[in-house]
Amino acid sequence: MPETLDRFYLVIDRLHWLPRFLPLGLKFVQLRIKDQPDDVVRAEIAEAIRLCKQAGCTLVINDYWQMAIEFGAEWLHLGQEDLEVADVAAIRKAGIKLGISTHSDEELETALSVKPDYVALGPVYETTLKVMPWKPQGLERVAKWRARLDIPLVGIGGITLERAPGVFAAGADSISVVSDVLRNADPDARLKQWLDARGSWTRSELASA
């Protein structure tokens, strides 16, 4: 289990992506299942944990904190509304690492109060994946979050491979992506491009200060 996040953090919507993506060298992935019955979610989480463990890939479970505890997940991602109903003490007692979404100064304060293992800031750019009340944060906000945090920062929302070096340079430690891979005409080829490119991103002097 790596102590730090991989620079590339893919978010997938269903289990079926894993058997094709894991052999390509994916190292950090979130399973974000929406609008599926609980029995489907249970089965997919259990199998995702098994497949990722076998492949040496870190798996983050989105939203389903009780199942994360039940199935022995290592990582969990929660948004601000998820946090309101989650039992953070039980999550910690189970030894699960926790990432929290933030979109404003107030949400950052709330996130930091649970001592997360990473904070995600979004949407960095406009996203077409889901309707959000937040306008794009921009790279200045990424740099501002970087300066305020002593834990890893994840940038998410509307990030493409072409935009990724700028987001990393501004201070994100990891770039989280859905559409640029899953909605690409050739998801496998696009994933390979991301995996090849992530080692060459460099920090700007401002973000490392």
Ligand X SMILES: Cc1nc(C(=O)O)sc1CCOP(=O)(O)O
Ligand Y SMILES: Cc1ncc(COP(=O)(O)OP(=O)(O)O)c(N)n1
By CB under 5 A, what part of segment 51-90 binds Mg ion? 63, 79, 82
Binding site for ligand Y (CB under 6 A): 11, 30, 32, 62-63, 77, 79, 82, 99, 101, 120, 122, 130, 154, 156, 176
Contact predicate 155/121, CB 8 Å? yes
Among 47, 114, 136, 179, binds ligand X (CB under 6 A): 179
Note whether 157 binds ligand X by CB under 6 A.
Answer: yes
Phi then psi for 132, rounded to 5 degrees?
A: -135, 145
Residues in CB range of 49: below 8 A, 6 or more apart: 59, 71, 72, 73
Q: Which of 76, 152, 165 is nearest to 121 (CA)?
A: 152
Note whether 187 binds ligand X by CB under 6 A.
Answer: no
Note whether 30 binds ligand X by CB under 6 A.
Answer: no
Note whether 177 binds ligand X by CB under 6 A.
Answer: yes
Strand partners, 31: 12, 61
Residue placing its CB nearer to ligand X in the complex, 128 or 208: 128
Interacting span for ligand X (CB under 6 A) from 20-28, 43-51, 65-73, 150-158: 150-158
Computed over its alpha carbons, how large is the radius of gyration of the chain?
16
Q: Which of 209, 156, 201, 174 is nearest to 32 (CA)?
A: 156
C-beta of 98: minimal distance to Mg ion in Å?
12
Among 99, 116, 123, 187, binds ligand X (CB under 6 A): 123
Question: What is the distance between the alpha carbons of residues 28 and 4, in angstroms, rounded to a whole number?
Answer: 10
Residue placing its CB nearer to Mg ion in the complex, 21 or 64: 64
C-beta of 75: minimal distance to ligand X in Å?
16
- Number of Cβ within 10 Å of residue 100's Cβ equals 26
C-beta of 77: minimal distance to Mg ion in Å?
7
Residues touching Mg ion, count (CB under 5 A): 3
Among 158, 161, 169, 191, binds ligand X (CB under 6 A): 158
Phi then psi for 188, rounded to 5 degrees?
A: -65, -45
